[in-house]
Amino acid sequence: MMNDKDKVDKKKIPKHVAVIMDGNGRWAKKKGNKRIYGHKNGVKAVRETVEAAGEMGVKYLTLYAFSTENWKRPKTEVDALMSLFISAVKNETSNLMKNNVRLKAVGDMSLLPPKVLENLNVIIDKTSQNTGLTLVLALSYSARNEITYAVKKIAEKVMKSQLSINDIDEDTISKQLYTHDLPDPELLIRTGGEIRISNFLLWQLSYTELYFTEVLWPDFSKKDFFNAITNFRQRERRFGKISEQISNEF
């Protein structure tokens, strides 16, 4: 009789892991500090997660850093987060180069302050030839905004007779998303104890395994990432088929 441990395939590492980094504010509050203190400490957890993903052979890591809804937070917090993004990408450049990490960004970049965009583009350019982990920052991102934008682009193609309605399929839509050059995530991790998706990658998460942890983002460590991967490896992904049909697929 096989036990759960025997079922774990050592090679079954997710190619793409997406993360909702939640709990920075509560972490800071618990320590009697301002919310931004939590965000600042969240940078360390980002570094740990990037290193852990690289070490495990994950190819794509997408981090939900700022949602379109986050623009509605008090201006002081938004400004502090924007400054933090600038300093974090600047300070981490040498680390990303050393670890062969390629940086990308997805979201409505037109809403970002020019200074953030400039700094981001410099490092995206600098790391573009790296061949290890691809780190994708979801910045000013929301899935409904992404899908709306894709629908507009498809409608425009139809209007210009570049595309026939009968030729629109799932692939047509995937190709118009911000994530058009990324595979769908196999695993989503959300920290901070909330059990929801919060407008993140709604199209791409159709078959993704979901993993929720109470750990607040600034406390999230390499070990927590390994735990999430181990949990994923013990699951059976059926994609609507039955167990016997998929048993030899991995």
Give catalytic status of residue 22 as yes or no: yes
**Centroid of chain to Cα 165:** 31
State the nearest-atom distance from the C-beta of 24 to ligand FPP, in Å.
4
User: Which residue number, 196 or 241, has a Cβ lying nearer to ligand FPP?
Assistant: 196
Which is nearest to 217 in space by CA: 37, 53, 90? 37
106: contact with ligand FPP by CB under 6 A: no
Out of 48, 59, 70, 174, the only residue in the binding site for ligand FPP (CB under 6 A) is 70
Out of 14, 16, 24, 105, the only residue in the binding site for ligand FPP (CB under 6 A) is 24
Residue type at position 237: R
DSSP state at residue 101: P
Catalytic entry in 3, 4, 6, 22: 22
21: contact with ligand FPP by CB under 6 A: yes
Alpha-carbon span 151 to 157, nearest angstrom: 10
State the nearest-atom distance from the C-beta of 205 to ligand FPP, in Å.
18
How would you label 78-90 residue by residue, b for 16+ Cβ within 10 Å and e otherwise? eebbeebbbebbe
137: contact with ligand FPP by CB under 6 A: yes
Give catalytic status of residue 70 as yes or no: yes
Alpha-carbon span 154 to 164, nearest angstrom: 10
Out of 16, 18, 23, 188, the only residue in the binding site for ligand FPP (CB under 6 A) is 23
Alpha-carbon span 213 to 90, nearest angstrom: 30
Stretch that binds ligand FPP, among 41-49, 96-104, 172-180, 203-211 (CB under 6 A): 41-49
**12's tokens:** 């079954």
* Three-state DSSP state, 18: strand
Name the residues annotated as catalytic: 22, 70
* Chain contacts with ligand FPP (rule: CB under 6 A): 21-26, 35, 39, 42-43, 46, 63, 65-66, 70, 84-85, 88, 137, 192, 217
